[in-house]
Amino acid sequence: MSDEILKDISEFVGASVVSKELLKKSENLLTSLFGPSFKEFGGLLSDNVKLRRFKNQVKIFTEAEEFLKNNNIEAKSVNLKVLAPLIEFSSLEEDESLQKKWSNLTVNILRGDSSIMLQQNSITVLNKISTEDAALIDMIYDELPVKKNKRFQKQRGYSNVQKPEDYPSSTFTFSVKEIQKRYGHTIDDIDLCIANLISVGLLKWDTDVEVTAQKSSDDPDDTDIDVDINVYNDSELIITRFGEKFVELCREVE
């Protein structure tokens, strides 16, 4: 990044907010995103809201750039359908814990190990969830291997026992009471988080199906049968496959 562009950015954002050294750490990403036309771009960011958004972008992309450099990870090209919403939505985030997730998501997208659809969906979901939602899905994800290991310990004496990591995640449920006990929030707050996590596809209810059948009349010649199917459950949850992938994509590469 040239000294002229660095000067433009520093003057625009303010030396007290973003240092020249900090900007240099993210020079590759900033140059790719803004390039030599930063003055023109800066003119579009004249109001306070856009200024705040730009500061968020610098912070998130600086951290991502630093991780890539420290771990010798070569950034892959990013599909425009992924890049555009990534830049747009990450700039809106001001919560530090979620900014960290945006930074991790950026790193994992630049590594190029995931599908475009997964990347797009993860960007959309991260933009829609709250800090509390993120903490809850993280807690459930972290508890999953614990449950798998407990099952393994119970079955290890059996023949052809599976390894804990081979157990299907869909066979492990999390009760609302269990979540409340571990999460420590009120049931109303948890209900709101659960509703949102279900709506974005990270969790789903472990559905029970009840089927009842009976003849429609006492007439022996009447062969019609009335069938009632009731689908219900609002107490046991399952983390979806997308939920697992989303958490992994928003975490630091190990």
Q: 44-72 pLDDT, tens per residue? A: 445 566 778 878 888 898 889 888 888 88
Provide the residue type at 160 as one letter: N
The structure's pTM equals 0.73
CB 244 within 8 A of CB 141: yes
CB 191 within 8 A of CB 180: no
Q: 120-171 pLDDT, tens per residue? A: 999 999 999 999 999 999 999 999 999 999 988 888 877 777 888 888 999 9
Q: How far apart are the C-alpha atoms of 121 and 85, rounded to whole Å? A: 10
Q: How far is CA 232 from the centre of its chain?
A: 27
pLDDT tops 50 at residue 16: no
- Token match 């590469």: residue? 253
Q: What is the DSSP annotation of 80-134?
A: HHHHHHHHHHHTT---HHHHHHHHHHHHHHHHT-S-HHHHHHHHHHHHH--HHHH
Q: How far apart are the C-alpha atoms of 57 and 190, rounded to whole Å? A: 30
Q: How far apart are the C-alpha atoms of 243 and 134, rounded to whole Å? A: 11
Q: Could you tell me which of 172, 119, 120 has the C-alpha nearest to residue 142? A: 172
Q: What value does the CA radius of gyration of the chain take, rounded to a whole number of Å?
A: 25
Query: Rounded mean pLDDT of the chain?
Result: 80
Strand order in the sheet with 174-175: 174-175, 236-239, 203-205
- The count of other CB atoms within 10 Å of the CB of residue 172 is 21
Q: Where are the alpha helices (DSSP H) in the chain?
A: 3-13, 20-25, 27-34, 38-43, 48-70, 80-90, 96-111, 116-128, 131-155, 176-183, 187-199, 241-249
pLDDT tops 70 at residue 226: no
What does the pLDDT read at residue 55?
84
Q: What residue ranges define each of the domains in the chain, with the CATH number in brackets?
A: 3-128 (no CATH), 129-254 (1.10.10)
pLDDT tops 80 at residue 25: no
User: pLDDT confidence of 1, banded at 50, 70, 90?
Assistant: very low
Residues β-bridged to residue 214: 226
Helix-helix angle 80-90:116-128, to 10 degrees: 20
Q: How far apart are the C-alpha atoms of 209 and 217, rounded to whole Å? A: 25
Q: 229-246 pLDDT, tens per residue? A: 555 566 899 999 999 999
